[in-house]
Amino acid sequence: MRVLVTGAQGQLGRACIQALTDAGHSPIGVDLPDGDLSIAGVAHQLLTAHEPASVLHCAAYTAVDRAESERDLALAGNTTATQLLAQACEAVGCELTYVSTDYVFAGDAETGYPEDAVRRPINWYGETKARAEEAVEELTVPWRIVRTSWLFGHGPANFVKTMRRLVAERSSLSVVDDQRGCPTYAPDLATLLVRMLDVGARGHFHGTNQGVCTWYEFALEIARLSGLEPARIAPCTTADFPTPAKRPNCSVLLETRLSELGITPCPAWEDALARYVTWLDVDHDADEESVSR
């Protein structure tokens, strides 16, 4: 299958290109140098030029805090680009997979959010992603929305790499311990996305690595696996670490639909993190720093 992957230079886009190739598909990666999807006509031109059977839409504006002040840019990168891509898919009869986020939810659930939970974002980034979901839901061609959370993977910047650097450089640092979520390894999510493509999944899904932790617990495991000193990390509250964008306290995405399709969930987040840290430690950490998004 010919599959167009948007955001091909990002950590999820890269992983999807590899997963599609491994599965015997023919991926076509595009990113901003190939055309700005928020500009009318660009998406249609890409689809007619490459003639994919399916699109994996990984491209997004992901600067959550900057989105509060760059509202137009965030809206264009997330909502407008997805709306135009969805319209182009409708016009040429191409199916669409949209990768969304836990931030479409308010974060006030005690145990987490199932796929059919009501969207109620509490920051502008989440709002732009929620509006994009609405555009995808209007399609008559096959579509799927896959929400994920706390993504990390091969690329120049992510929480794992930031923590490794800070713990190595500082004698102490504080990390938020009252926000819960599901860390997700981009290659594991990419494998899941390709599997969903292969079985013809339709509708809303949640895709994360298994297990739940706080950012503080995540940071402790990063330090431990990296041979650093977890004792340098102290817990703090969200109130102790204010940010321009309000964060959901609970970002846990409950997976209730994958079993219906016979799809094996992603491994535990600890397993995924161990694989990533090992990969970084071998010879890739320094190389990635020079790679631009």
Would you name the residues annotated as active-site residues?
Answer: 125
DSSP per-residue string spanning 197-215: HHHT--EEEE---B--EEH
210: left (phi over 0), alpha (psi -120 to 50) or beta: beta
Contact 186, 11 (CB under 8 A): yes
> Which CA distances in Å does 274 have to 197, 222, 283?
27, 8, 15
SS3 content of the chain, % helix, strand, coil (to 5): 45, 20, 35
Distance CA 178, CA 108 (A): 12
Distance CA 96, CA 86 (A): 7
In degrees and rounded to multiples of 5, residue 170 shows phi and psi of: -110, 155
Letter string b/e over residues 107-139, b meaning 16 or more CB atoms within 10 A of that residue's CB: bebeebbebebebebbbbbbbbbbbbbebbeeb
Distance CA 35, CA 57 (A): 14
